[in-house]
Amino acid sequence: YRVDRTVLTAPEMQAILAGLRSLDSVSGTRRYAQLMEKLSAGTGGLVPGGAHMLIDLSSWYKTSLPPKIECIQEAMEQHRTIQFTYFSPKGESVRTIEAYYLVFHWSSWYVWGFCLEKQGFRLFKLGRMMNLTKEETLFDPKPVQAPDLSSETVFPPSFEAKILFEPAMKWRIIDEFGIDTIEEQSDGKLLVTYQAFDKFSLFSWVLSFGNQAELAEPKNLRRELCELAAEISLKNKN
């Protein structure tokens, strides 16, 4: 089969090659590089200049991620279950799932599959998976839609939080929330209001700013955060 590349403009070909190049960052093989060579062979001046877009999808797990992705891809192609040890806020567990989608979202990789233990579809973060193996057990694929990865679905808000930041933290607020979320106060401090889904995640995030952030509301969580900070201080005195 021969692809008629004359229907593609130079920018379109560059976009295709950039996408394929990014997949090789997590494939653990040269399969996409070889595909790029096939697509670009004989193009002559169709793709002028070098690559102007570099995408690395490997995140922080450059060594451990590619073998996991390869294993999950093979399992999906062969309709075999996978098993792994999973670490979550609720503890450590061994899961067996039917994998259906590999997902790159929120700067991390996930697998969407049917968990045999929970008898339902779940999203698992690859970075939290250990001892991943492809099982011999075959499964009949279920009708499945792509997961709804909207923040409202995955992280449903449960309360409104207001945080005051020192002006020096403006760069980080813009980086994590966007400039439209900032309300500058008369004293120069920056107020951010957002819908939080979990108080412990909120606490760890506020504490990550050190003395540059103050939880203004809710008042009851403000007291809990003060107690937590006191405990942290006590543990680090000795």
Residues 132-182: tens digit of each pLDDT: 999 999 999 999 888 888 877 777 888 999 999 999 999 999 998 889 999
Tell me the average pLDDT across 6-12. Answer: 68
CA distance 206 to 221: 12
Q: 158 CB contacts (<8 Å, ≥6 apart)?
A: 195, 196, 197, 198
- Decide: helix, strand or coil at residue 216: strand
Identify the top-confidence range among 8-17, 37-46, 141-150, 222-231.
222-231
Please give the distance of CA 145 from its chain centroid, rounded to a whole number.
19
pLDDT for position 45: 45
pLDDT for position 205: 92
Among 112, 24, 32, smallest CA distance to 72 is for 112
Angle, alpha carbons 209-210-213 (nearest 5°) = 60
pLDDT for position 215: 95
Q: What is the pLDDT of residues 91-102, one digit of tens each?
A: 999 999 999 999
pLDDT for position 193: 94
Radius of gyration of the chain (CA): 23
Residue 167: DSSP 8-state: G
Tell me the average pLDDT across 187-199. Answer: 92
Among 6, 21, 31, smallest CA distance to 52 is for 21
**126 band by pLDDT with thresholds 50, 70 and 90:** very high
Q: Is the pLDDT of residue 42 over 90?
A: no
Identify the residue with better confidence: 125 or 50: 125
pLDDT for position 158: 85
Identify the residue with better confidence: 8 or 131: 131
Q: pTM, whole model, 2 decimals?
A: 0.73
Identify the residue with better confidence: 29 or 121: 121
Identify the residue with better confidence: 107 or 135: 135
Range scoring the smallest mean pLDDT among 28-42, 53-67, 72-86, 216-230: 28-42
Tell me the average pLDDT across 103-116. Answer: 90
pLDDT for position 46: 44
- Decide: helix, strand or coil at residue 100: strand
